[in-house]
Every structure is written in C-alpha cells, then in structure tokens.
C-alpha cells in the first residue's frame, strides 16, 4: 500500500510552505516515525516524520514551494527500499487514506493581542516543532521579524492535510529590473527571510522610530561578575553573564518608564504590568528572539537558567512558537559580534528595543582626572508615538544608574 507524505499545516495563518531539505534519499527504506525532511514556512521550521515503513518516493525537491496539504512524497510499504539514491521526481501520488484523529493544538496568542501566551503547543505524530522563525529585529543586518500564531486544530488526516487557498499577493511597486551579469548567482529568498524583510519594512513604515544613545562604565558590573562567576557556575551549572545584569537593570528601568514597555493597538495604548523580555540568540540560520516570560519576577539565577535553556533550544532547532510569541521589550547584544554602535529596529508592536555593544577601554573624565575605564555604548530605539524623548533618555539614565551601581539590583547566589 502507498502512503502519501503531505506538506503539513504549521499554523492557522500559513497557507504555503517550502522544503528546506530532505533528510532521506529517493528510494531509501524509511521506518515509521523517522524524520523525512524539514519544512519551512514564513514563521517556523518543522520536521516531518514518516507515518509508515517502506520505500520512499520523493515528489517535491528542496527549495520547491507548495500549498499546505500538497503531496510531496510517498511511502510504499510493499517495497523494500535502498539507501544512497539521489532525490528524484516520480509518478503521481495516490489518494490520501483516512487516519485516526490527531490531538488538537491550542493556539498561541499573537504579540499584537497584548495578552501573554500561555503554554506550548503540542504537535501531531508526524510533525515536530523544530526552529521558530521570526522573533524580534535585534540589529540592522541581523534582523528577525515578528511573532507567530498558534497551531491550527485538526481532526482527521484529510482535514489536517487539506489544501488552503493562498490569498493573492499584493502587486509590488514598479522599480528598476536587475539584469544578471556574468558572475552573478541568483538564489530564491527563503520564506523566513521574506517574512523578516516584510516585518522590518512594516516596523519602519508604521512606527515613528527614533534612537537615543548613552554609555555606561562597566567597572562595577565586571568586578561583581569576576568575584562570583566561578562559584555561580559551580553552584547552579550555568555561567553568570552580562546579559542577566542587563535584563535585571532593564526590568527596573521599565518599571520607572512604563511607556517603553507599552504598545499601540489602534487608537489605544496597552500598558503591560509585567516584563516579558526577548533576548536575541544567534543560530546557524540567523537570529531568533525567544522570550523570558515574567522576567520582572526573576532573580539572576532564574534568568541565567532560562537563557541557557532557550539558547540550547535555539541552537538545536527545538524552539517552539510559544517560546517566541509575545514579548514586551527586547534586548540585542551586538557586542557579541564586535559591534561598537548600532541602531536597533523595533519588533512590532513593542515600543522599545535596547542595543548592547562591545565593552571597550576608553579614556574618560572621573572627578576631574582622565582614567581608562571599560565603557559600553547603549542604544535605545523607541516608538516616538508612545515614548517622548524625555522618557527615552530617562530610561537609559536609569539603566546606567543600575549598571554602575549593581548592588541596587540585589544580586544573590
């Protein structure tokens, strides 16, 4: 009997997906439950597993796009396959056969709703959440887009794989057409990168983005960290990083200037009486921004453990949509890559994003004398529709005050 492999539904608002890569070859023997390929949408990357044992026939190649529910391969349980064959297109698929109903997945709330997502979404037997795509947009050139909606509820295999008609794409504005030159290499933009570009342009087109700068003397934070980092790692199993100091300081500054922690919904301003902080994490596929929920209720240990958990999931491709949805404020550490100064781009509907940068020794005036101090430039990009210049500058002054006097952050082991 031949069993169809379908392009899965990966979200209630997603109608088109593309094949990122096949993990099995055409004609290869596969087992029920083995991962066959990775599917990419504009919001997430997921694994598709076999639902039968037999020889695999590949019908759609890596890079091809198709509507949700399309047949992309077949597994013939009456044939013993071999390994090592190159993927190749084959005969037309057979009709899908009904299967037992799948568990319903609760939808995750989108960031624009202003409410906090709760819980993660379960996945079906042949679909495993792998790497969630667009999160916040940390820095120009290293950007990610906005949050994703939850998984759609399904009941039968036919319903789960039923194609959904994609809405007509808007006509792009007329512009100069590029003519390929010798040595040019044209590669289709991935769906994730298209989504990133869309969200970045949306942020620039809708928000009144302005960036203000300050600098902080990192002497006190570095001394406190150096004093405790070995004992901290030995006791808790995670390193004591600068990011936890900045997260705690940001929380305190957001409490003082709540406009930076707010968002616009139509003609209303939504103030969040909690701090869900997005932290940019670099991965092989680009930056993602998982969210530390309830950061305002956490101490240094809890923050470091949560960051380590999310960073591991991000680099292993195991982030779920619930890990990325929401967030009220974002921190991006461009200093990891050596950036001395940058202007971060907002992650809608958030009204603020903080850019950290490289710590560099510079001469500064201290009590009338020139001293060499480890200094860091800080950048706050904010939505001027909500946040006035006074509020933005005050936020950075508050942040600097906590970082230059870290005992106010009540550090504890």
> Which amino acids are annotated catalytic?
384, 388
Answer yes or no: are the C-beta atoms of 71 and 59 closer than 8 Å: yes
Q: Are 328 and 276 in contact (CB under 8 A)?
A: yes
Closest CA to 327 of 404, 249, 247, 390: 247
Interaxial angle between packed helices 219-236 and 300-315, expressed in degrees from 0 to 180 and rounded to the nearest 10 = 70
| Long-range contacts of residues 400-404, Cβ cutoff 8 Å, at least 24 apart | 400/214, 400/215, 400/216, 402/248, 402/249, 402/252, 402/253, 403/216, 403/218, 403/220, 403/221, 403/245, 403/246, 403/249, 404/216, 404/217, 404/219, 404/220, 404/221
Torsion of CA 341, 345, 349, 353, to 10 degrees: -10
Residue at token pair 């391969």: 73
Helix (H, G, I), strand (E, B) or coil at 174: coil
| Contact (CB, 8 A) for 109 and 115 | yes
- Picking from 367, 353, 325, 356, the residue whose alpha carbon sits closest to that of residue 147 is 325
Whole-angstrom Cα distance, residue 188 to residue 40?
A: 13
Distance CA 133, CA 195 (A): 9
Does residue 127 contact residue 341 with C-beta atoms inside 8 Å?
Answer: no
Rounded Cα distance, 83 and 197, in Å: 39
Cα separation values, 132 from 158, 186, 243, Å: 26, 26, 22
CB 129 within 8 A of CB 46: yes
End-to-end CA distance of the chain: 61
Tell me the residue ranges of DSSP E strands in 115-162: 127-132
């Amino acid at each position: 009997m031949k069993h169809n492999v379908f392009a899965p539904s990966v979200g209630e608002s997603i109608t088109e997906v593309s094949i990122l890569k096949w993990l099995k070859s055409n004609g290869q023997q596969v087992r029920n439950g083995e991962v066959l390929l990775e599917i990419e949408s504009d919001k997430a990357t997921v694994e598709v597993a076999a639902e039968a044992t037999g020889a695999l026939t590949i019908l759609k190649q890596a890079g091809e796009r198709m509507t949700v529910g399309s047949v992309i391969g077949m597994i013939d349980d009456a044939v013993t396959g071999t390994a090592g064959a190159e993927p190749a297109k084959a005969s037309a698929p057979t009709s899908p056969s009904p299967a037992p109903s799948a568990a319903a997945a609760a939808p995750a709330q989108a960031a624009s709703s202003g409410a906090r997502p709760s819980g993660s979404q379960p996945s079906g037997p042949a679909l495993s959440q792998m790497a969630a795509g667009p999160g916040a947009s940390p820095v120009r050139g290293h950007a990610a887009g906005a949050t994703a909606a939850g998984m759609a509820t399904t009941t039968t295999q036919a319903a789960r794989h039923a194609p959904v008609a994609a809405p007509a794409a808007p006509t792009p504005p007329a512009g100069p057409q590029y003519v390929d030159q010798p040595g040019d290499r044209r590669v289709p933009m991935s769906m994730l990168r298209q989504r990133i570009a869309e969200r970045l342009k949306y942020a620039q087109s809708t928000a009144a983005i302005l960036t203000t700068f300050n600098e902080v003397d990192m002497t006190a934070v570095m001394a406190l960290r150096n004093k405790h980092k070995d004992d901290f790692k030995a006791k808790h199993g995670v390193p004591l990083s600068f990011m936890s100091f900045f997260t705690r300081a940001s929380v305190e500054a957001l409490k003082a200037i709540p406009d930076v922690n707010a968002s616009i919904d139509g003609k209303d301003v939504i103030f969040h009486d909690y701090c869900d902080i997005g932290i940019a994490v670099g991965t092989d596929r680009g930056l993602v921004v998982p969210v530390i929920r309830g950061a305002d209720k956490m101490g240094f240990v809890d923050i470091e453990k949560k960051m380590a958990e999310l960073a591991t999931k991000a680099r292993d491709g195991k982030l779920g949509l619930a890990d990325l949805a929401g967030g009220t404020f974002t921190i991006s550490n461009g200093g990891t890559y050596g950036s001395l100064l940058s202007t971060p781009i907002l992650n809608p509907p958030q009204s603020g994003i903080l850019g950290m940068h490289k710590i560099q020794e510079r001469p500064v005036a201290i009590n009338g004398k020139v001293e060499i101090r480890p200094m860091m430039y800080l950048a706050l990009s904010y939505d001027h529709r909500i946040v006035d210049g006074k509020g933005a500058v005050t936020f950075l002054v508050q942040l600097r005050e906590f970082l230059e006097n870290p005992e106010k952050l009540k550090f504890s082991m």
